[in-house]
Amino acid sequence: MSIDIAPILKMLVFPGGLTLLALGLLYEYIDRKLVARFQNRVGPRVLQPLADTIKLLAKEEVIPQGVIPLFFVSLPVVALAGVLTAGLYIPMAGLAPAYSLPGDLIITVFLLGLLTLCIGLAGANTADRFSLVGATRTLTQLFSYEAPFLLALLCPAILADSWQISVVHRSVLGHVWMALPMAIGFFVAVIGLMGKLELAPFDAPEAESEIVAGALTEYSGRGLALFRLGKDVALVLGITLVAAFYLGGLANPLEFLLKTLGLLVLVAALQALFARLRIDQTVGLWWRIGALLALVQLLIVVLLKGVIL
């Protein structure tokens, strides 16, 4: 019996596993460096995220009192595994996704949401009050941005008549950038991505000055490292997804790099530009403005599609 090595490679090396992790660390570096430069600082060194991760992995992991140890240990693993799986459906580096099936857009968004859910559960698992408030906020925020973000991603999908990432991606390739005719959708998608990743100004769930480090306050060592890696990977995936849908597709690795990095600059600039929103302001913003805008965009798309076709 011969073992098919291709799926294992796909899962462990490219586009999943190692490549995603390496890209995640690289993008975290670029993000931190850009924010630091916007703030007039020098910023971290290239290998900084890698060193942070290795150091955390080599550190003692304290399992605090009052937690369910099984959940405490397994949640970070589930979170990271979830986002790594999501990587298989996304056109990484401009190449066709490793796997593609109808409706994988929904799966991907769900898997990315799983990370947030795990963080929320991890916070709720500990007895620490900061973690509990952080968990509440994380989950509150999850419910607020998830819908507009999905709606914003649906706009190109409706145009392409498919909920399959690779089909949508192929349909936008070579056309005019969707970000131009669908500026509102693009805007909502970028902001939604920032909310998803809990980047400033949507970092109320981990607002240092109020609740220390939010849901992850009690995590140390390995668990923290895995959650951080998960977030890094989610950053790469989210940016890739938005770039693939709205920035005219990713035809080759070079285009992938240019477009995702361009988007990263935008995200970093937005991070440096605003004061943190309170959680009620975040939720209000999403439901009052974000969801509305996304719906308006969706309506426009549906109407146009009906008129043209």
Partner 1 sequence: MSDVPAGLPKPWTKMLEALKSWSRIYSPWAIHFNSGSCNGCDIEILATLTPRYDVERFGIKLQGSPRHADVLICTGPVTLQARDRLRRVYDQMPDPKFVIAVGSCATSGGVFQGCYNVVGGIDQVIPVDAFVPGCPPRPEAIIDGVVKLLQSLKEKQVAEKTE
Partner 2 sequence: MTGVQKEKFIIPIGPQHPALKEPAHFEFTVDGEMVTSASVRFGYVHRGLEKGAENRNWAQALYLLERVCGICSHAHSTVYALGVERLAGVSAPPRAQAIRQILLELERIHSHMLWVGVAAHEAGFETLFMYSWRDRETVMDILESFTGNRVNYSANTLGGVKYDLGPQQSDSILRGLDSLEKRLHYYLKVVTNDESFLRRTRGLGTMTVEQADALGAIGPTARASGVTRDLRVDSPYLMYADFPIHVITDTAGDLQARFVVRIKELFESARNIRTAMEHLPEGELAVRFPRKVRAGEVVSRIEAPRGGLFYFIKSDGGENPVRVKVRTPSLRNFMSVLVGSVGRQLADVPMILSGIDPCFSCNDRAVIVRRDGVPATEFNPRKESASQSKS
Which spans of this chain sit near partner 2 (rule: CB under 8 A)? 35, 38-41, 124, 129-130, 132-133, 136, 200-201, 203-204, 207-212, 272-281
Please confirm whether the linkage preceding 15 is cis (ω < 30° from 0).
yes
Q: Are 178 and 245 in contact (CB under 8 A)?
A: yes
Residues 172 to 231: which contact partner 1 by CB under 8 A?
A: 208, 212-213, 216-222, 224
Own/partner pairs, 66-71, CB within 8 angstroms, 24+ separation = 66/126, 66/127, 67/125, 67/126, 67/127, 67/218, 68/125, 71/121, 71/122, 71/125
Q: Which is nearer to partner 2, 28 or 104 (CB)?
A: 28
Residue with tokens 């390496």: 22
Q: What is the dihedral of CA 115, 108, 200, 253, to 10 degrees?
A: 120
Choosing among partner 2, partner 1, none, which partner's interface includes residue 252 (Cβ < 5 to 8 Å by kind)? none
Q: Which is nearer to partner 1, 144 or 217 (CB)?
A: 217
Q: How many C-beta atoms surround the C-beta of residue 99 within 10 A?
A: 18
Q: Are 149 and 195 in contact (CB under 8 A)?
A: yes
* Tokens encoding 210: 């109020």
User: Where does 46-103 have alpha helices with state H?
Assistant: 48-58, 69-86
If one asks whether residue 95 binds partner 1 (CB under 8 A), the answer comes out as no
Residues 23 to 42: which contact partner 1 by CB under 8 A?
A: 32, 36, 39-42
If one asks whether residue 2 binds partner 1 (CB under 8 A), the answer comes out as no
**Shortest Å, Cβ 129 to partner 2:** 6
Q: Which is nearer to partner 1, 152 or 213 (CB)?
A: 213
Choosing among partner 2, partner 1, none, which partner's interface includes residue 272 (Cβ < 5 to 8 Å by kind)? partner 2
Choosing among partner 2, partner 1, none, which partner's interface includes residue 273 (Cβ < 5 to 8 Å by kind)? partner 2
- Residues interacting with partner 1, by CB under 8 A? 32, 36, 39-45, 47-48, 50-55, 57-62, 130, 208, 212-213, 216-222, 224
